Structure 1
């Protein structure tokens, strides 16, 4: 039953104003609505994320969410031009692209942190042979 239902991401923030500047000014997101002290951002395919206030932001050492993109390297280049710094995981296996994305396991991926310490990812599914 859950498989047929939309799933949404929660993005924790200690400082909503700071987080909004990052998501809106650097990533170029437009808020759909403000609610319960936070903000909802809408994405492709009817998906969305809720940026919400909590003192627990940035405590996860794993990715909070990812964007499924057509071209990770192009997205990285655009985001870098807006001041986004990507994480480098030297112990991660795979081939590294000129922009720094890692290709392994049928996907190309890159990670960055928001100012709250949350790890976000860009993932590009690669064609299977």
Structure 2
């Protein structure tokens, strides 16, 4: 019997302008474009998973995290690289976490949020 738990999954993000998204995800985030598919779907390789970026009239309407990247000890360097490419980071003061240089922290655990050009929330953590 087949089980869903044994199947590969992918994150998927809706965008309003696929060419603007291509520039952001390819150049700003530096993700590797694996496939430029039918209907404007872009497939990026991210570690051992895939990130699908597709055009939709509902782009940016999700007010929660769209995708999370586990960055481990590289999180600070990744944040600095993204800052150098013009990415601005969200600050959520109501979370009650320490905040410095775009990074929320609780002890050794670090978390970062930023938005793509459509307002989709992307999350980095040091897990």
- What residue number does 2:119 align with? 117
Task: Give the 3 Å change call, closer, same or farther, for CA 84–102 of structure 1 in structure 2.
Answer: same
Separation in structure 2 between the aligned mates of residue 100 and residue 32 of structure 1, nearest angstrom: 30
**Runs ≥4 in structure 1, deviation > 6 angstroms?**
none
Task: Output one character per residue of 1:69-115: Cα deviation in whole Å (capped at 9) or x when no partner.
Answer: 0232221111101111111112112222x322112387311000000
Aligned pairs for 1:27-46 within 5 A: 27-36=29-38, 37-45=40-48
**Further displaced range: 71-80 or 8-17:** 71-80
SS at match of 1:84: coil
Task: Give the 3 Å change call, closer, same or farther, for CA 105–65 of structure 1 in structure 2.
Answer: farther
Shift of 1:4: 2.4
Shift of 1:5: 1.9
SS at match of 1:76: helix
Is residue 86 from structure 1 mapped to residue 89 from structure 2 by the alignment?
yes
Separation in structure 2 between the aligned mates of residue 103 and residue 6 of structure 1, nearest angstrom: 31
Aligned pairs for 1:52-67 within 5 A: 52-67=54-69
Separation in structure 1 between the aligned mates of residue 107 and residue 116 of structure 2, nearest angstrom: 25
The answer as to whether partners of 1:109 and 1:124 remain within 8 angstroms in 2 is yes
Shift of 1:124: 0.7
Tell me the C-alpha RMSD between the 2 structures. Answer: 1.5
> Structure 1 or 2: larger helix share?
2
Separation in structure 1 between the aligned mates of residue 5 and residue 71 of structure 2, nearest angstrom: 22
Separation in structure 1 between the aligned mates of residue 113 and residue 8 of structure 2, nearest angstrom: 24
Task: Output one character per residue of 1:11-46: Cα deviation in whole Å (capped at 9) or x when no partner.
Answer: 10110011111111111122101112211001112x
